[in-house]
């Protein structure tokens, strides 16, 4: 379970305690803080990973990295703000599959270009999701859930962290592959949707392990399957969606670090070197394993190719599911 910080400290400073010493050091040297724009509110996978990376990057950069949460519009709001920032290394952005692979197919118009307006720095992590349901749902397996959903169209409501987010996309893929009708209820972040799932206001959710595990362990929700290529180490007894009967189903979400377009190559190289050092550090590897995440250090070129492949894959996904957001 990820470390918890006093909420006042997180919201007031955007930093956790290990990042405060670079702030003092930078102040003495006159260094300007780096703003790390995050497209989701505090509490979900994107924010938790961003804060962990911000702490470590701040120590390597010798100046604080301050998290700036800008949720809204499936990540497009934050991406637009980052795209318009000066390419001076003082503004970074945590991109994800929505803003940098899928939204270009999902939305009729974007106020940024995910390729032209950004400088790729490197991948951060990949993560499967867990299909979780409230204990009141009469299903102890994916097959039983699918049968119930087919017998009771739109009787189930599944939450998500927001329109176009990973939990929404995983749900739409399940609906298309299984041929079921389930209501989608978007929230402003995973924390809000989990609150309503635990209370039974909604009946299910595809959720990242980092936020789902405490609720699974407390039996507040029931895990029926995971969306990755193989079983999750944290849930060895829970089958993959394919193992549970939905052959071919695969969904893995990811996060990466970017800067505004036009960042000088020397700064791109320095930031990538620091990022790779952060993502290959044993402490980061241990933290990721403990929270169901896989570190994915990469070069900027590898990250750019990865995003291009994901953009093509999600274009096919949108055609398959008919998913659109106006």
d(CA 72, CA 95): 14
Is the confidence at residue 267, as pLDDT, over 70?
A: yes
End-to-end CA distance of the chain: 36
Tell me the average pLDDT of the chain.
89
Q: How confident is the model at residue 302, as a pLDDT?
A: 98
Going by their DSSP bridges, the two strands 183-186 and 91-96 should be labelled as unpaired
DSSP 245-275: T-TT---EEEEEEEEETT--HHHHHHHHHHH
pLDDT of residue 313: 87
Report the pLDDT averaged over residues 211-222: 95
- The pLDDT, as a whole number, for residue 274 is 98
Q: Nearest Cα to 158, choosing from 134, 179, 136? A: 134
Percentage of the chain surpassing pLDDT 90? 74
Mean pLDDT along residues 158-181: 91
For the cut 60, the answer to whether the pLDDT of residue 26 exceeds it is no
Q: Is the pLDDT of residue 14 over 70?
A: no
Choose among 163, 26, 184: nearest CA to 99: 163
Tell me how far apart the alpha carbons of residues 241 and 226 are, in angstroms, rounded to a whole number: 6
Band of the pLDDT at 191, cuts 50, 70, 90?
A: confident
pLDDT for the residue 19? 39
> Residue 122 pLDDT more than 90?
yes
Whether the model pTM is above 0.75? yes
Q: Can you tell me the distance from the alpha carbon of 295 to that of 288, in angstroms, rounded to the nearest whole number?
A: 7
Q: Is the pLDDT of residue 12 over 80?
A: no
- Higher-confidence residue of 324 and 98: namely 98
Tell me the per-residue pLDDT of 32-74, one tens digit each, with 9 for 90 and over: 999 999 999 998 889 999 999 999 999 999 999 999 999 988 8
Q: What is the pLDDT of residues 290-314, one digit of tens each?
A: 999 999 999 999 999 999 999 998 8
Tokens of 120: 């790729």
Instruction: Give the separation between CA 122 and CA 322, rounded to whole angstroms.
Output: 31
Phi, psi of 189 (to 5 degrees): 110, 160
- pLDDT for res 278: 98
């Amino acid at each position: 379970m990820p470390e918890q910080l006093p909420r006042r400290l997180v919201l007031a400073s955007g930093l956790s305690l290990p990042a405060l010493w670079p702030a003092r050091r930078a102040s003495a040297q006159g260094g300007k803080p780096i703003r790390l724009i995050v497209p989701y509110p505090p509490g979900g996978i994107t924010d938790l990973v961003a804060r962990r990376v911000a702490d470590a990057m701040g120590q390597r950069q010798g100046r604080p990295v301050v998290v700036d949460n800008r949720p809204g519009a499936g990540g497009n709001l934050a991406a637009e703000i980052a795209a318009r920032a000066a390419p001076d290394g003082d503004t970074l952005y945590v991109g994800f599959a929505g803003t940098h692979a899928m939204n270009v197919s999902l939305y009729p118009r974007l106020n940024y270009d995910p390729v032209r307006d950004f400088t790729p720095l490197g991948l951060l992590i990949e993560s499967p999701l867990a299909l979780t349901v409230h204990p009141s749902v009469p299903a102890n397996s994916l097959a039983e859930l699918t049968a119930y959903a087919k017998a009771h169209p739109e009787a189930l409501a599944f939450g998500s962290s927001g329109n176009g987010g990973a939990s929404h996309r995983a749900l739409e893929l399940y609906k298309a592959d299984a041929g079921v009708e389930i209501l989608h209820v978007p929230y402003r972040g995973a924390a809000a949707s989990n609150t309503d799932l635990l209370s039974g206001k909604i009946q299910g959710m595809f959720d990242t392990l980092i936020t789902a595990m405490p609720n699974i362990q407390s039996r507040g929700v029931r895990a029926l399957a995971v969306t990755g290529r193989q079983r999750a180490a944290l849930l060895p007894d829970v089958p993959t969606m394919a193992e549970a009967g939905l052959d071919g189903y695969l969904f893995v979400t990811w996060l990466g670090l970017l800067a505004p377009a036009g960042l000088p190559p020397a700064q791109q190289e320095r930031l990538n070197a620091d990022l790779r050092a952060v993502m290959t550090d044993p402490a980061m590897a241990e933290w990721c394993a403990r929270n169901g995440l896989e570190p994915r250090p990469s070069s900027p070129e590898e990250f750019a190719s990865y995003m291009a492949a994901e953009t093509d894959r999600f274009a096919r996904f949108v055609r398959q599911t008919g998913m659109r957001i106006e």
